[in-house]
Structure 1
Amino acid sequence: MTTLTSVRPAVPLHRLDVPAPSILPFAVGSFDTIGPMSRADFPHRHTFHEIVYVTGGTGTHVVDLVPRPLRPPHLFFVAPGQVHFWHRARELTGWVVLFNDDFLLAHPEDRDTVRELSACTRLRPTAEAAPGLTGVVAELRREYAEQGEGFIPVLQAYLHVLILRAARLAASVTDVVVDVEPDLGPTAAIAQRFARLLDRPTDPVERTVGAYAAHLGVSVGHLNHAVKTATGRTPGRIIRQAQVVEAKRLLAGSDLTVRQVADRVGFGDPAYFCRFFRRETGSTPGEYRRDIHAKHHDGRALSIDVPRERP
């Protein structure tokens, strides 16, 4: 049995606690059985993946400051590192599935699928699709509760089916394009490993192209080629975008000073960070924080969009 706990860094960080090394980090249950943090009304993030299948209730699920009003049945994917919370949620019913990357080893291609699904805002099952999703979640719950012989591979298989069905649903609403079974060559594999490093909530790697290349065991030139080929963008540009997104998360969801935010996202000089942030977003960190807080209090839509591309 895994449990959900919280620690208190700048933005509260939730982890899955695993009591024995033989049990992979995984949990499934209702909002009540998973616990109050499954419907937390304060900004927080995870070190793990979360799938939420809401079958009833009202309110808004806010992911990276983008409000997603509940219209059950509603499916949500939350990736490691994303900041989210529930706003004015009432009478939530449904199911929560928690797992980390280790639990996807049987189907490693799912790691990128669930990351892409976390960007999909309109995963609302049709009347035809809802019973199938409910059935898959029911089987996950049964296997997890009974924990019979060989239950881990069975859980992994049902989770794979749930992810595949969600990917089909995402494709049907054209909100994001998801490769269900990507055929990765070595170049694309390097690019995806680089992307996963950037997704870590507490990234131990220095935020430079050289540091990421060393961590991945490739040359800077090879990393540049792999990422540019796979994404059309340079690793440096992607790192800068990740720094802006993380800075926005911290400015909006914590009481850290601008100097502390600068340090958290890899800038030793807060003045340089302020110039960088203004160049990328059009506003200073202080202006961004004031604007976000004003929007939050008057109920207007919030957004933490990735910085726009420049030639």
Structure 2
Amino acid sequence: MSKAHIPTYDICSLAMEKPASEDILVARFSDYLAAHPDIRFPHRHSFYHLAFFTGGAGSHTIDFERFPVKAGQLYFMIPGQVHSWFFEGKTEGYVVNVSAGFFTAFLQDAEYVERFPFFSGVSTEGVVQLPRQGIAAIVALFEKMLEEQRSAEFYNHDMMRLLMLEMFIQVSRVASKGKTRQDPPHSHVLLRNFRKLVEQHYMQLRLPKDYAALLYVTPNYLNAFCRDMLGKSAGEIIRDRVLLEAKRLLINADMSISAIAYQLSFADNSYFTKFFKKYAGVTPEEFRKNIS
């Protein structure tokens, strides 16, 4: 497989059994790796991707942030994120590939799953380390999902939905333990809406005041809110999204720096290069050379 571009996989293209489901795949990690040896290279998914490690070593990179693989780690990735891995020795655990629509026919609130903090699309927020005493309960849920996937019982997909939602809730509770405060629900709604707007408009809208207007708040309030919730200003969050997309595009060796600058709505190649060097620490050419 060429590494000059980032391939995007759908669930059926990574199927392991016939007939393939277009909505969900649950597999043991070792079986998944054996069936798809080339997916260690950078790639995207058109679905939600969950990886749970119960054993192994090495590293897992999500959107150019590298994490050491450890037992008890859960990785939650949303559609479009770029990831790759390099494992050392035998890797054990579970993989779940699930479509965005898997829950919509089951839940009245179509955005329910997006409320879980690990589905924010931010790499560091999508990695959860379970305490040793909590691993067995999550393993049991994955084993039940595997059993339901193999079964021909009525409502087996609904049972898998219930098991997965139980897992999301349990992991969310673990991830929130030790927090010194509990933010009010409306704060999470505003943050989620801001991030969704950035995802939709970062190519064209680069100023906090543009998003503040869409959210019916003042720019000062939006900046203060983002600093309180994330430790970053609204402008930094917008900038980080532009920088991430630049890195994703630079993997495609067939795309010129000028073409990337144009696609990202920079006035010229020079401005894009200065922007990238300032915030990535290297020029676009150096970044491309380092990842090739």
**So what's the TM-score if we normalise by structure 1?**
0.69
Say whether the 8 Å CA contact 1:170–1:177 is kept in structure 2.
Answer: no
Match of residue 54 from structure 1: 53
Say whether the 8 Å CA contact 1:30–1:95 is kept in structure 2.
Answer: yes
Say whether the 8 Å CA contact 1:41–1:87 is kept in structure 2.
Answer: yes
Say whether the 8 Å CA contact 2:223–2:235 is kept in structure 1.
Answer: no
Rate the CA distance shift 1:111–1:147 in 2: closer, same or farther, 3 A: farther
Out of 102, 115, 122, the residue aligned to residue 119 of structure 2 is 115
Say whether the 8 Å CA contact 1:143–1:151 is kept in structure 2.
Answer: yes
Percent identity reads 21
What is the CA-CA distance between 1:30 and the residue it aligns to?
2.0
Match of residue 284 from structure 2: 285
Q: What SS class does the counterpart of residue 102 from structure 2 fall into?
A: helix
d(CA) in 1 for partners of 2:281, 2:10: 35
The count of aligned residue pairs is 273
What is the CA-CA distance between 1:118 and the residue it aligns to?
4.5
Q: What SS class does the counterpart of residue 93 from structure 2 fall into?
A: strand
Could you list the per-position Cα deviations for residues 159-184 of structure 1 after superposition, in whole angstroms to 9, with x for gaps in the alignment?
11111222233234x6x9998xx864
Say whether the 8 Å CA contact 2:57–2:89 is kept in structure 1.
Answer: yes
Match of residue 23 from structure 2: 25
Match of residue 208 from structure 1: 204
d(CA) in 2 for partners of 1:52, 1:7: 24
d(CA) in 2 for partners of 1:7, 1:223: 46
Alignment partner of 1:71 is 2:75: no
Match of residue 174 from structure 2: 169
Letter aligned with residue 72 of structure 1: A
Out of 10, 13, 18, the residue aligned to residue 8 of structure 2 is 13
* 1:1-311 map, 5 Å: 10-17=5-12, 25-31=23-29, 32-33=31-32, 36-37=35-36, 40-105=39-104, 106=107, 108-113=111-116, 114-116=118-120, 118-120=123-125, 123-172=128-177, 184-185=185-186, 189=189, 191-196=191-196, 198-199=198-199, 207-209=203-205, 220=214, 222=216, 228=223, 230-232=225-227, 237-251=236-250, 253-255=251-253, 256-267=255-266, 269-290=268-289, 292-293=290-291
Rate the CA distance shift 1:278–1:57 in 2: closer, same or farther, 3 A: closer
Could you list the per-position Cα deviations for residues 235-261 of structure 1 after superposition, in whole angstroms to 9, with x for gaps in the alignment?
66533220112212333x442332233
Could you list the per-position Cα deviations for residues 72-114 of structure 1 after superposition, in whole angstroms to 9, with x for gaps in the alignment?
2432222333221111443222210112332343263331323
Q: What SS class does the counterpart of residue 209 from structure 1 fall into?
A: coil
d(CA) in 1 for partners of 2:205, 2:115: 21
Runs of 5+ unmatched residues, structure 2: 16-20
What is the CA-CA distance between 1:11 and the residue it aligns to?
1.7
Letter aligned with residue 259 of structure 2: Q
d(CA) in 2 for partners of 1:167, 1:177: 15
Say whether the 8 Å CA contact 1:48–1:99 is kept in structure 2.
Answer: yes
Runs of 5+ unmatched residues, structure 1: 1-5, 297-311
d(CA) in 2 for partners of 1:125, 1:74: 6
d(CA) in 2 for partners of 1:220, 1:243: 19
d(CA) in 2 for partners of 1:111, 1:121: 12
d(CA) in 2 for partners of 1:24, 1:148: 19
d(CA) in 2 for partners of 1:35, 1:193: 39
Say whether the 8 Å CA contact 2:32–2:95 is kept in structure 1.
Answer: no
Q: What SS class does the counterpart of residue 216 from structure 2 fall into?
A: helix
Could you list the per-position Cα deviations for residues 110-152 of structure 1 after superposition, in whole angstroms to 9, with x for gaps in the alignment?
3132324852486333332111001111111222222532233
Alpha-carbon RMSD: 4.1
**So what's the TM-score if we normalise by structure 2?**
0.72
